[in-house]
Structure 1
Amino acid sequence: MAKFQSLSDSEMAVMKVIWRSPHPVTSSELLKVFSESKGWKSQTISTFLSRLTEKGMLKVVKKGAANYYQVAVTQEEYRKQETQSFLENIHGGSVQSFIATLYDLNDITPEDIEELKHWLDKR
């Protein structure tokens, strides 16, 4: 991916389905999933697939008349880039600031702190 771009909630929903798929997917396969759960139409799916391709998240392979979409960025690669972007943009790159915010919000438990200590000790 050339320049990192975060995904919208809808783009993320599409990517989660594609990441879970053991093979490249077609827009028809995605339509089956999202027409029931979200009421999306074919054009909506096409729009998201185009955006995800432009963002470098997907590659398109044409087979006959069908386009098959395959992962260009793994879920782990995306998670790393999204986390780095979040830390830089929201916390100025400071992990301490991030953890302090979680602590101040009571979103981090003593068990979490112990788990972090053990993880850091292993590093």
Structure 2
Amino acid sequence: MTNFQKLSETEMEVMQIIWASDHPITSGELLDIFAQQKGKEWKGQTMATFLARLVEKGVLTSIKQGRANIYRPRMSLEEYRSQEAKSLLETLYEGSVKNFLATLYDGKEMAKDEMTELRRWFAEKAGEKNG
């Protein structure tokens, strides 16, 4: 996992809107959406800064169209979540899912149905690798 950079809370908020959009989006459209839906009256330069960071982090692409830039996601929300989870595992748990789960559940009771569901999930994943 090289060069993965976690998004800030505000960057994630911007990306959530972009991911939810069914078309490429402009900075102006994003400013309107934030003003109308979130009550945030940002200046154009503020939005431009967030968009530039998102392009730099590799989650967004920018294409010049006339005087405006058009933005498209470079990865899906699912791809981002997967990279973020892998980065977390590698950084904090030495890549070990077992260490991660142990941290979550050490000293806590896990519901029997939750444990059964996890066993079933791991068995299915093992079957996929062996099959």
The TM-score range, normalised by the shorter chain, is 0.7 to 0.9
Q: Structure 2: which amino acid aligns with 1:10?
A: T
Under a length normalisation based on structure 2, what TM-score does the superposition of the two structures give? 0.82
**1:22 alignment partner, SS class:** coil
Deviation at 1:28, TM superposition (A): 1.0
Deviation at 1:34, TM superposition (A): 1.8
**1:40 alignment partner, SS class:** coil
Does residue 10 of the first structure (1) align with residue 14 of the second (2)? no
Gaps of 5+ in 2: 126-131
User: Which structure 2 residues correspond to residues 17-96 of structure 1 after superposition, within 5 A?
Assistant: 17-36=17-36, 37=38, 38-96=40-98
Root-mean-square deviation (CA, aligned residues, Å) is 1.9
Quickly say closer, same or farther: Cα 1:89–1:105, change in 2 above 3 A.
farther
Q: Answer yes or no: is the 8 Å Cα contact 2:25–2:71 preserved in 1.
A: yes
The total of aligned residue pairs comes to 122
Quickly say closer, same or farther: Cα 1:34–1:96, change in 2 above 3 A.
same
Quickly say closer, same or farther: Cα 1:116–1:28, change in 2 above 3 A.
same
Q: Answer yes or no: is the 8 Å Cα contact 2:61–2:71 preserved in 1.
A: yes
Under a length normalisation based on structure 1, what TM-score does the superposition of the two structures give? 0.87
% identity of equivalent residues: 48
Give the distance between the partners of 1:62 and 1:48, measured in 2 at CA. Answer: 17
Gaps of 5+ in 1: none
